[in-house]
Homo-oligomer: A and B are copies of this chain.
Amino acid sequence: MAVVRAKHDRSEPVREAIRLSATKLFEENGFEATGIRDIAREAAVNPAIVLRHFGSKENLFLETMDSSSAMRSIIEGPLEGLGARVVGLIVPGRQKGLEILGATVRASSKPDIRRRLHESIAASLIEPLIDRIDAPDGELRAHLFAAQLLGLMTAFAVYDDEYLLEAPLDGIIALYGDSLQALVTGN
């Protein structure tokens, strides 16, 4: 009785298995250290069909490693207390978005990946803030907020500042979250 739209989705399970393996391996080992043949083996599939379905390794990375939703969710909620809240979201568990961000930054030699990184930050972090900041220089403030936030993310995800990783959260909030907050609501 009417299989729902089996139009040309015959390969969808394979594609999904590949996406799953790619996500796992890219997150664990990054773009460069993850080979097409590794992904194929993990998905129990022939290396060539990874490329038949996704075109290129770079494109597969773009389809699986997307940090924009994580970024957007980070700045959700009221502007009051945003500084402390984002710091709290970033610091403790090294949430998933951080791994993706780190992998994306390290893969940004590839122009398309660099473009994606730029777009994610602009569309999911900066632009949503611009509309909400009610202060002179709102646009500048949004850009600087993003820069400062990414500074902390970078400390965790690209050079690993183990001191910051083990530092008490309230200290970081008091010193870093407050100046983030000052950017977003006037001084």
Residues of A bordering B, CB below 8 Å: 30-33, 105-109, 114, 117-118, 121, 137, 139-141, 143-144, 146-152, 154-155, 158-161, 163-164, 167, 171-172, 175-176, 179, 182-183
Contacts and interface: CB of A to CB of B under 8 A. Distances in A.
A158 B160 CA distance: 17
Contact of A155 (B147, B158, B163): B147
A147 to B, nearest CB: 4
Nearest to A162: B118
A175 B183 contact: yes
B143 A164 contact: yes
B109 A32 contact: yes
A31 B109 contact: yes
A167 B140 contact: yes
A167 B150 CA distance: 19
Please tell me how many copies of the chain the complex holds.
Answer: 2
A124 to B, nearest CB: 12
A167 B183 CA distance: 16
A168 to B, nearest CB: 9
Contacts of A108: 106, 158-159
A83 B179 CA distance: 13
Contact of A151 (B109, B140, B150): B150
Contacts of A143: 155, 161, 163-164, 167
Find the residue from A32, A33, A154, A172 having the highest chain B CB count within 10 A: A154
Nearest to A160: B118
Contacts of A139: 163
